[in-house]
């Protein structure tokens, strides 16, 4: 398959390249392909004529988006729309990666694909708009919501906690935010498998289960250092976060693929690798 991957230098992008080794990959970082530029996107897709486009590019600075709304929407909404438009013209299928943060966190239990989004932050609103435009584009597309990603490449919560623990404890971690930690290696493998199916539409794809940030941090460091609970208010981050953004799926089974393994198993594999 000819596959065009945007955001190929990100943590998910690196694992996608590995998971799809053996295919005809055309990989781009932001410098090589600015998805905000509709003309460049159209020219690139027309030249490559990919069977698939995977959009792993995003403006992921949740707090920074509060002061950079135009950039967040350009990358997270305009960019996916440009890719979807080009995919439709080229007859390519599209996978667009979105986020658990499109929900407001008030449900009290994991969100499935039938729940109505209500994003709280600029970042979340921009990602929701990207979803909406891709699904409305007419392109044969899958929108995959995932959550709390971590992998070998780039910045993430696991690496931040490990670095903080190495400097010595105790650590203070938010205890009132719940989500679904997800390995980028597992997500990349799921995407590779999904591309062998006729799936289209919206799916939640995360490692199974849910935990708080505090529980996640304690699982990362074990007994290396003490991890103390604080509240979201005490953390005082610029962008609001949903208190519960755990995801589950009522649609993934229809693809015929197995669900992802539990988050603890995925984390253990990551830490022991």
Question: What would the pLDDT profile of 142-178 be if each residue is shown by its tens digit?
Answer: 999 999 999 999 899 999 999 999 999 899 999 999 9
Give the active site residue among 28, 101, 111, 123.
123
Written as six digits, the tokens of 254 are 């229809």
pLDDT at residue 169 in the model: 80
User: What pTM value is reported for the model?
Assistant: 0.95
Render pLDDT for 53-66 as a digit per residue (tens, 0 to 9): 999 999 999 999 99
Q: What domains can be seen in the chain, in order of their start residue?
A: 2-156+180-209+247-261 (3.40.50.720)
123 is catalytic: yes
pLDDT tens for 124-133 read 999 999 999 9
**pLDDT above 90 (res 272):** yes
């Amino acid at each position: 398959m000819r596959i065009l991957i945007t955001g190929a230098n990100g943590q998910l992008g690196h694992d996608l390249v590995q998971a799809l080794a053996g295919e005809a990959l055309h990989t781009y970082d932001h410098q090589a392909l600015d998805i905000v530029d509709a003309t460049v996107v159209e020219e690139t897709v027309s030249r490559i004529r990919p069977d698939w486009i995977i959009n792993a590019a995003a403006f992921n600075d949740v707090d920074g988006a509060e002061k950079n709304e135009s950039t967040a929407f350009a990358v997270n909404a305009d960019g996916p729309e440009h890719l979807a438009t080009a995919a439709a013209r080229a007859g390519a299928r599209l996978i667009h990666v979105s986020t658990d943060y499109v929900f407001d966190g008030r449900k009290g239990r994991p969100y499935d694909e039938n729940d109505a989004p209500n994003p709280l932050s600029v970042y979340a609103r921009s990602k929701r708009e990207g979803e909406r435009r891709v699904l409305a584009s007419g392109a044969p597309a899958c929108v995959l919501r995932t959550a709390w990603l971590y992998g070998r490449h780039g910045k993430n919560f696991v690496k931040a906690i490990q670095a903080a623990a190495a400097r010595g404890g105790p650590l203070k971690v938010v205890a009132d935010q719940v989500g679904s930690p997800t390995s980028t290696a597992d997500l990349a493998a799921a995407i590779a498998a999904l591309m062998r199916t006729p799936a289209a539409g919206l799916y939640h794809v995360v490692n199974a289960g849910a935990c708080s940030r505090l529980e996640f941090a304690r699982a990362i460091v074990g007994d290396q250092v003490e991890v103390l609970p604080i509240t979201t208010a005490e953390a005082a981050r610029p962008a609001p976060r949903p208190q519960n953004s755990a995801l589950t799926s009522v649609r993934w089974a229809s693809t015929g693929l197995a669900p992802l393994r539990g988050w603890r198993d995925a984390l253990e594999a990551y830490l022991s690798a």
